[in-house]
Amino acid sequence: MKAHLNRRYHFSASHRLHTEAFDAAKNRAVFGKCNNPHGHGHNYTVQITMSGPVDPSTGMVCNLAELDAFAETNLLARFDHMNLNTMNCFANMVSTTENLSIEIYRIFQRFPAAHLERVHVEETSNNSFDYAGDATPTPGML
Amino acid sequence: MIFLTRKAEFSSAHYYWNEAWSLEENQRIFGKCANRNGHGHNYTLEVTVAGAVDATSGFVVDLKELKDILEREVVSVYDHRHLNLEVPEFKTTIPTTENIAIAIWHRLDNKIPHAKLHRVRVYEMPDLFVDYYGEP
């Protein structure tokens, strides 16, 4: 039977929303206080949804210790207490949480033991983003 | 179509153990969850049903009725119990969050009048939860 396992991870990072495609005035106009040259930060929460058949011998979609170890190496060790704008993945991309969600989706697509359904990223308790690749979530699936 | 979700809570003990495996294999796969003395969690159950809004009552389901069904079918059976030792479905399956969600689906399916069971979500803790949509 197919089930969906949801796991939440937490990291803190700084960023600045800014693009070389705009001049200084337009950056300020579009990104507002997020364009502060000194940056600002958030406590991000990342919620990963993995799906797959429940293995009868373990009762699990995938081994949680393996998923946590993958997240530690590929997400937390890379992003926690970093300035997102200094990371290679944001060299040519504004470090919005939309783009962060897509990057995190690409990371967890490489987890071999289950199928990634979607990622949900909370930038603050008031702002959250969902990305499911090319799939369109059906009503009630989030 | 409206999706309606009702929460319930239960606190239970469990451990993870596969009788076909050695002690070492159980400890390797399940880690500290394989402690045979058990450990416990405060589980949160969210049951989502889908249905049309009744024109007279304005309800998808009567929430009091749904609450009573959850209490009768799940909470009264699981709460303050040792899942491995006292709940029939976990004599033969390991009480992982995945299997708990599936078992609760089977306990509730076709028991909720006027609405279709859409999702069973079981939180073992706030950062770990499983969704089951009745998929084979």
pLDDT digits (tens, 9 = 90+) for B10-59: 999 999 999 999 999 999 999 999 999 999 999 999 999 999 999 999 99
- What average pLDDT does range B95-124 have in this prediction? 97
pLDDT digits (tens, 9 = 90+) for B51-98: 999 999 999 999 999 999 999 999 999 999 999 999 999 999 999 999
Q: Does residue A81 fall inside a structural domain? A: yes
Query: Is B131 within 8 Å of A63 when comparing Cβ atoms?
Result: no
Q: Does residue A121 fall inside a structural domain? A: yes
A9 DSSP β-pair partners: A46
Q: How many domains is chain B partitioned into structurally?
A: 1
CATH of residue A24 = 3.30.479.10
Query: Is A3 within 8 Å of B1 when comparing Cβ atoms?
Result: no
Q: How many domains is chain A partitioned into structurally?
A: 1
A140 CB neighbours in chain B (<8 A) are 3, 48, 50, 118-119
Output the pLDDT for position A140.
67
Is the CB of B27 inside 8 Å of chain A's CB atoms?
no
Is the CB of A138 inside 8 Å of chain B's CB atoms?
no
Q: Does residue A142 fall inside a structural domain? A: no
Q: Does residue A139 fall inside a structural domain? A: no
d(CA A65, CA B112): 36
B127 CB neighbours in chain A (<8 A) are 7-9
CATH of residue B80 = 3.30.479.10
> Sign of torsion, CA A63 A66 A72 A73?
negative
Per-residue pLDDT band at A134 (split at 50, 70, 90): confident
Q: Does residue A137 fall inside a structural domain? A: no
Domain extent for A34: 2-131
- The model carries a pTM of 0.93
Report the 3 state secondary structure along chain A: CEEEEEEEEEEEEEECCCCCCCCHHHHHHHHHHHHCCCCEEEEEEEEEEEEEECECCCCECCCHHHHHHHHHHHHHHHHCCEEHHHCHHHCCCCCCHHHHHHHHHHHHCCCCCCEEEEEEEEEECCEEEEECCCCCCCCCCC
Output the pLDDT for position A142.
62
Domain extent for B26: 2-132
